[in-house]
Amino acid sequence: MGEVNVVLKMKEISAVIGGEGNGGIIYPELHYGRDALVGVALLLTSIAENGLSMTALKDSLPKYEMSKDKISLENFDRVPEILEFAIGLYPNATIYRNDGVKIDLDQGWIHLRQKQY
């Protein structure tokens, strides 16, 4: 949901670790910025502490897939209407509006945001 929004939420709930869709790790014990090297250090520490191979550790984690798509629109005036339509398709979902629209589902999520060029 964007690094700044992740950091704000982490501070609000005193999270010990966070991350962003691009894989960046945010580890407040060191600093509140995305840091790939911190992610590598945490991964290697986990492997060493648990005596697992990299494959065993990977296999113990939940499996996720990411699909990124873009839709080009001629008229940005319809974006609010399109976002509300998408929300209406998932009446039982939890909706977040702090960075576009995130539709949180049991089996995953959908994140829609407007980007104008």
Q: pLDDT digit string (tens) for 38-83? A: 989 998 999 999 999 999 988 988 887 888 888 888 878 888 899 9
Identify the domain containing residue 49 by its residue range: 3-59
Residues 13-29: what's their mean pLDDT? 88
User: How many domains is the chain built from?
Assistant: 2
Q: What is the DSSP secondary structure assignment for residue 102, as one 8-state letter?
A: E
Q: Which of 4-8, 81-85, 88-92 has the lowest mean pLDDT?
A: 4-8
Residue 68 lies in a domain: no
Residue 53 and residue 90 share a domain: no
Residues 71-99: what's their mean pLDDT? 89
Residues 6+ positions from 25 with CB-CB distance below 8 Å: 17, 18, 19, 34, 35, 36, 38, 39, 42
The reported pLDDT for the residue numbered 98 is 82
Residue 69, both tokens: 């798509």
The reported pLDDT for the residue numbered 71 is 81
The reported pLDDT for the residue numbered 88 is 97
Q: Sign of dihedral through CA atoms 98, 104, 108, 112?
A: negative
Residue 83 and residue 46 share a domain: no
Residue 17 lies in a domain: yes
Residue 65 lies in a domain: no
- The percent of the chain in helix, strand and coil, each rounded to the nearest 5, is 40, 20, 45
Residue 46 lies in a domain: yes
Nearest to residue 7, comparing CAs of 19, 104, 35, 112? 19
Residue 7, both tokens: 């950091």
DSSP 3-state of 73: coil
**Residue 77 · residue 92 · CB < 8 Å:** no
Residue 48 and residue 8 share a domain: yes
The reported pLDDT for the residue numbered 47 is 92
The reported pLDDT for the residue numbered 31 is 94
The reported pLDDT for the residue numbered 116 is 60
